[in-house]
Structure 1
Amino acid sequence: MTTAIEEYPAGVPDETTSRAADHLWMHFARQGRHPEVPVPVVTRGEGAYIWDNRGRKILDGLSGLFVVQVGHGRRELAEVAAKQTAELAYFPVWGYTTPVQAELAERLATLAPGDLNRVFFTTGGGEAVESAWKAAKQYFKLIGKPLKHKVISRAVAYHGTTHGAMAITGLPNMKKDFEPVAPGGFRAPNTNLYRHPEFADDPKAFGQWAADRIEEAILFEGPDTVAAVFLEPVQNSGGCFTPPPGYFERVREICDRHDVLLVSDEVICAFGRHGATFACEKFGYTPDIITCAKGMSSGYGAIGAMIASEKVIEPFLRPGVAFPHGYTFGGHPVAAALSLANLDIMENERLNQRVLDNEAAFGATLGKLLDLPIVGDVRGDGYFWAVELVKDKTTRETFDAAERERLVRGFLPGALFDNGLYCRPDDRGDVVVQVAPPLICGQAEFDEMEQILRHTLTEAQGLL
Structure 2
Amino acid sequence: MHFTRMSSYRDAEVPIIVRGDGCYVYDEAGKRYLDGLSALFCVNAGHGRTEIGEAMAAQVSELGFYTNWSYAHPRAIELAERIAGYAPGDLERVFFTSGGSESVESALKLCRIYHRHNGEGGRYKVIAREIAYHGTTMGALTATGIPDLRAPFEPLNPGGRHAPNTNSYRWPADRDPLWAADQIEERILFEGPETVSAVILEPVQNAGGCFTPQDGYWQRVREICDRYGVLLISDEVICSWGRLGHWFGCERYGYQPDIVTTAKGLTSAYSPMGAVIASAKVAAPFLEGTSMFTHGFTFGGHPVSAAAALANLDIFEREDLCGHVRAKEGELRQTLEDLRDIPIVGDVRGAGFFHAIELVKDRDTKETFDDDESEWLLRGFLSGALYENGLICRADDRGDPVIQLSPPLIADSEQFAEIGATLRKVLTEAADRVAAER
Q: Does the alignment reach a TM-score above 0.5?
A: yes
Q: Does 1:104 align with 2:79?
A: yes
After TM superposition, give the deviation of residue 340 of structure 1 in Å. Answer: 0.7
User: 2: CA distance between counterparts of 1:300 and 1:57?
Assistant: 20
Q: Which residue of structure 2 aligns with residue 225 of structure 1? A: 195
1:305, 1:69 → 2: CA distance?
17
- The yes-or-no answer on 1:52 pairing with 2:27 is yes
Aligned-CA RMSD value? 0.9
Residue 146 of structure 2, aligned match among 123, 146, 171? 171
The correspondence for 2:266, drawn from 296, 319, 334, is: 296
Amino acid at match of 1:393: R
1:197 CA displacement: 4.2
Look up the equivalent residue of 1:294 and give its one-letter code. Answer: K
Q: Provide the rounded CA distance (Å) in 2 between the counterparts of 1:175 and 1:407.
A: 24
CA distance in 1, matches of 2:349, 2:263: 23
Deviation track 1:423-452 (CA, whole Å, cap 9, x = no partner) reads 000000100000000000111111110110
Taking structure 1 as the reference length, what is the TM-score of the superposition?
0.92
**AA paired with 1:82?**
A
Once residues 397 and 270 of structure 1 are traced to their aligned partners in structure 2, the CA distance between those partners, rounded to angstroms, is 33
Q: Secondary structure at the match of 1:440?
A: coil
Deviation for aligned residue 1:35: 3.8
Q: Residue 434 of structure 1 is aligned with which of 404, 407, 415? A: 404
Indicate yes or no: 2:3 matched with 1:28. yes
* SS state at 2:347 partner: strand
One-letter amino acid of the counterpart of residue 252, structure 2: K
Is structure 2 residue 60 aligned with structure 1 residue 76?
A: no
Between the aligned partners of 2:356 and 2:286, the Cα distance in structure 1 is 40
Question: CA shift at 1:33, angstroms?
Answer: 3.2
Q: How does 1:23-422 map to 2 (within 5 A)?
A: 26-199=1-174, 205-206=176-177, 208-422=178-392
Give CA-to-partner distance per residue, 1:380-405, whole Å, 9 cap, x none. 10000000000111111111111111
Q: Deviations over 1:230-268 (max 9, x none)?
A: 010000001001111000001000000000000000000
Aligned with 2:234: secondary structure?
A: strand
Taking structure 2 as the reference length, what is the TM-score of the superposition? 0.98
Residue 195 of structure 1 deviates from its aligned partner by 2.1
What's the CA shift string for 1:304-346, capped at 9, x where partnerless? 0010001000111121111111111111111101101101100
Q: 1:17 corresponds to which residue?
A: none
What amino acid is the match of 2:296?
Answer: G
Residue deviations 1:338-392, cap 9 Å, x none? 1011011001101100000011111111100100001000111000000000011
| Alpha-carbon distance between aligned partners in 1 of 2:70 and 2:432, rounded to the nearest angstrom | 60
| Alignment partners' CA distance in 1, 2:354 and 2:430 | 23
Aligned residues with identical type, % of pairs: 56
Partner SS state of residue 9, structure 2: coil
Deviation at 1:34, TM superposition (A): 2.9
Say how many residue pairs are matched.
434
Q: Alignment partner of 1:274: what SS?
A: coil
Letter of the 2:44 partner, please give it: Q
- For 1:86 and 1:211, the matched residues in 2 are separated by 50
Q: Determine the C-alpha separation between the residues in 2 that align with 1:238 and 1:369.
A: 19
Cα offset for 1:412? 1.5
**CA offsets, 1:117-162, max 9 Å, x none?**
1101001011100000000000000010110110011111000000
Q: Distance in 1 between matches of 2:401 and 2:69?
A: 43
Structure 1, unaligned stretches of length 5 or more?
A: 1-25
**Aligned counterparts of 2:348 and 2:409: Cα–Cα separation in 1:** 19
Specify the SS of the correspondent of 1:198. coil
- Deviations 1:36-72 (Å, cap 9, x if unpaired)? 2110111100000001112211000000101011110
- In structure 2, the gaps of 5 or more residues are none
Q: Tell me the amino acid that sits aligned with residue 125 of structure 1.
A: G
Separation (CA, whole Å) in 2 of partners of 1:90 and 1:265: 28
| Per-residue deviation, 1:406 | 1.0
Whichever residue aligns with residue 298 of structure 1, its letter is S
> In the aligned structure 2, how far is the partner of 1:354 from the partner of 1:317?
39
List per-residue Cα deviations over 1:201-255 (Å, max 9, x = no partner).
x8xx31x211110000000000000010001000000100111100000100000
For residues 321 and 440 of structure 1, the distance between their equivalents in structure 2, rounded to whole angstroms, comes to 44
SS of 1:268 mapped into structure 2: coil
Which structure 1 residue ranges, 4+ long, deviate > 2 Å from structure 2? 32-35
**Structure 1 counterpart of 2:257, one-letter code:** P
